[in-house]
Amino acid sequence: MTEPKQIVVIGGGITGLSAAFYIDRLLKENKIKADITVLEKNHTIGGKVNTLAKDGFVIEKGPDSFLARKTPIIDLTKELGLEKELVPTNPKAKKTYIMNRGKLHRMPPGLNLGIPTEWKPFMKSGLISPWGKVRAAMDLVLPRRKESGDESLGGFLERRLGREVLNNIAEPLLAGIYAGDTHQLSLQATFPQFQALEQNKRSLILGMTESKKQTPPPSGVPEEVRHSLFLSYRDGLMTLIRGLEDALRRAGVQIITGRGVAGIERLDGGQGRIVLDNGDSQIADGVVVALPTYALAELLPELPAVQKLGGMTYVSVANVISAFDASQVPHDLDGSGFLVPRKEGRFITACTWTSSKWMHTAPEGKVLIRCYIGRSGQEEWMKLSDEELMRGVRKDMKELTGIEAEPLFYEITRLPRSMPQYPVGHLDVIRQARKEAAEFIPGLLLTGAGFHGVGLPDCIRQGKEAALQMAEQMSRS
């Protein structure tokens, strides 16, 4: 009788859990027996996903939503039977604001990832000067770049649309996803579709306008959520983590928390030995490592490209969530919130009017607001106490929204080294690191947010891709 394959997934965040879910499914479909174990150093699974229920509020201390157009998370939601738990953003809170010269300006309708696709509202916007608008329109006639290699996201956007659009709109919107500096971030690793549109359509604006028309809403989900740009779950994003955990345990996958990994060794037969932090070890035919790249590098010191990957910068960020009585909030929170460009020199980098954007997050008559702190080159906040953080947030809130009241309560979440900064050439390093890993141990796969996408759908996609590779590897062996 054939012995079951031993598969170990290191890391119980969304990528690792998704990888384990799809590995189990694919191996069973291929009639390959396997014992699958997920190892998580912390005492809880889910990584940065962290939903808190408090006094009738639904509070996200980590990520707060996901892009509906990215199908991997929609597919997983349906596979877990959770599609009825999906909730859309408030259709009455479509406005988003960007600060410019100390004032909040409405982001012009028709922006697609910061790229103007409707000229009339863009031309009326006070965010860009008349010359800046003319410079952006030059994208319609500029030639495409001849070179096909990687470049910085900021360099690309400045080349196509000009410095004003980059600094006043694109930087706070796109760099905010990574808390990074657009001139340091890899275009191919962050927004490869921009490069593809330039090569195929020549004009970024024309290409984005066309692709916007072609993007269909997600299928197989309730009608009320089909046309929302962002989605969440009625009881928060932990709904997805709990769904994955339940599915994995029903499938017989072992989830071990509070147990880290100290090293990965190669055995003569091509298997791997997973050395645990308590000195125990486990033999594995296949290993998926879904950890931050700096933690990955500690496990594989023999692999040069993995060490280079491990040297990638991770930015530390924090968020402060405050609850108020609605009567204490003088500002008309008539949208989803506002973004703060780097040039404004504020303490906060963005603010979400959570209870306006998500109707399920606050009781009647209450307001929930989330402010963000920290980005590349602005991490001095790490030296501050919680009281000092709150003081900085409240100062900006008072000056920008007029809120002076003491909050009913607040929650501060510090996320050290949480945002990977993909440098130019990042994808080449990934390819080499994965090649080295496969040569070291044939069944060793490397993945996670530090590789190719930080959003929840991107992490799920990478987990599924690793599962497909693992299933193929186990079928061959």
Q: List domains and CATH numbers for the chain.
A: 5-45+243-312+422-476 (3.50.50.60), 51-92+314-420 (3.90.660.20), 107-214 (1.10.3110.10)
Is residue 159 predicted with pLDDT exceeding 90? yes
Report the pLDDT value the prediction gives residue 344, as an integer from 0 to 100: 94
Strand ranges (E), 346-466: 348-352, 366-373, 409-420, 444-447
Report the pLDDT value the prediction gives residue 20, as an integer from 0 to 100: 98
Q: 383-415, pLDDT tens digit by residue?
A: 999 999 999 999 999 999 999 999 999 999 999
Name the pLDDT band for 217 (thresholds 50, 70, 90). confident
Q: 349-385, pLDDT tens digit by residue?
A: 999 999 999 999 999 999 999 999 999 999 999 999 9
Is residue 212 predicted with pLDDT exceeding 80? no
CA angle (46, 71, 236) in 5-degree steps: 40
Report the pLDDT value the prediction gives residue 200, as an integer from 0 to 100: 94
Report the pLDDT value the prediction gives residue 476, as an integer from 0 to 100: 87
As a whole number of angstroms, the distance between CA 475 and CA 443 comes to 11
Calculate the alpha carbon distances from 332 to 3, 190, 418, 440 in Å. Answer: 64, 34, 33, 59
Is residue 175 predicted with pLDDT exceeding 80? no
Is residue 137 predicted with pLDDT exceeding 60? yes
Query: How many Cβ atoms sit within 10 Å of the Cβ of residue 53?
Result: 11
Report the pLDDT value the prediction gives residue 99, as an integer from 0 to 100: 94
Report the pLDDT value the prediction gives residue 112, as an integer from 0 to 100: 87
Name the pLDDT band for 336 (thresholds 50, 70, 90). very high
| Exposed e or buried b per residue across 122-152, where buried means at least 16 C-beta atoms within 10 angstroms of its C-beta | beebebbeeebbebbbebeeeeeeeeeebbb
Name the pLDDT band for 176 (thresholds 50, 70, 90). confident
Is residue 221 predicted with pLDDT exceeding 90? no
Residue 92 near residue 357, CB atoms below 8 Å: no
Q: 10-59, pLDDT tens digit by residue?
A: 999 999 999 999 999 999 999 999 999 999 999 999 999 999 999 999 99
Q: Across all residues in the chain, what is the average pLDDT?
A: 95
Calculate the alpha carbon distances from 222 to 33, 72, 213, 231, 240 in Å. Answer: 36, 17, 22, 12, 17
Report the pLDDT value the prediction gives residue 1, as an integer from 0 to 100: 57
Report the pLDDT value the prediction gives residue 318, as an integer from 0 to 100: 97
pTM: 0.96
Is residue 289 predicted with pLDDT exceeding 60? yes
| Exposed e or buried b per residue across 57-89, where buried means at least 16 C-beta atoms within 10 angstroms of its C-beta | bbbbbbbbbbebebbbbbbbbbebebbebbbbb
